Amino acid sequence: MNELTKTTSFVKFAVIAVILSLGGIADAVYLTVHHYTGEQVPCGATGGCEMVLSSAYATVYGIPLAFFGAVAYFTAFSLAVLTSFGNVKLWNLFGLQVTLMACFSAWLVYLQAYQIQEFCQYCLVSAGICFSLFITFAASKILK
C-alpha cells in the first residue's frame, strides 16, 4: 500500500474518531461541571447516577474522574484531528490511548455492575464512546 492510499484509509476512520471524541468531551465536561456545582444530574434512564457519582470511586484525590476523562477525550480528539490532516504516524499513538481508555472504561462498568450495583447513564455513554473509539481504531487496522 502506498503512502497516499494508507493516508486516505486512515483519514475516514480518524474523522469518525473526531466525531466520537467530541461526544466524549461533551459528556465528560458536563459531569465535571456537575461535580463542582454539586447539582443532581437528571437521571431518568438508569436512576443510579447520584449513587455512582458520589461513590468512593468517583474521585481521585478530590478530582472527579470525569475531569480526567475530559482530558483524555480531548487528547484523543487532537490526535484524531491531526491524523485526519495527514499526520498518519499519530494514529498509532491514538490507538494506544483509546485502548487504555477502553480498558479503564471496562473496569468502571464492572464497578458499576458489581461494586456499586447502580448504573449512571452518563458513565455508560462514556464507556460506549471509549469502546467505539477502540473499535474504530481496530477497524482501521483490520480493514486497511
Q: What grid cell was written down for 72?
A: 483524555
Q: What span, in angstroms and rounded, lies between the C-alpha atoms of 53 and 12?
A: 35
Binding mask 29-48 for another protein (x = CB under 8 A): xx-xx--xxxxxxxxx--x-
Asked if residue 104 binds another protein (CB under 8 A), the reply is: no
Q: Which of 9, 15, 68, 74 binds another protein (CB under 8 A)?
A: 74
Among 15, 23, 59, 93, the residue binding another protein under the rule CB under 8 A is 59
- The DSSP result for 39-54, as a single string, is PPPP-TTTS-HHHHHT
Nearer to another protein, 2 or 37 (CB): 37
The long-range contacts involving 106-114, CB below 8 angstroms and separated by at least 24 positions, are 108/57, 108/65, 111/55, 111/57, 112/48, 112/52
78: contact with another protein by CB under 8 A: yes
Looking at 5-13, 50-58, 100-108, 134-142, which segment touches another protein (CB under 8 A)?
50-58
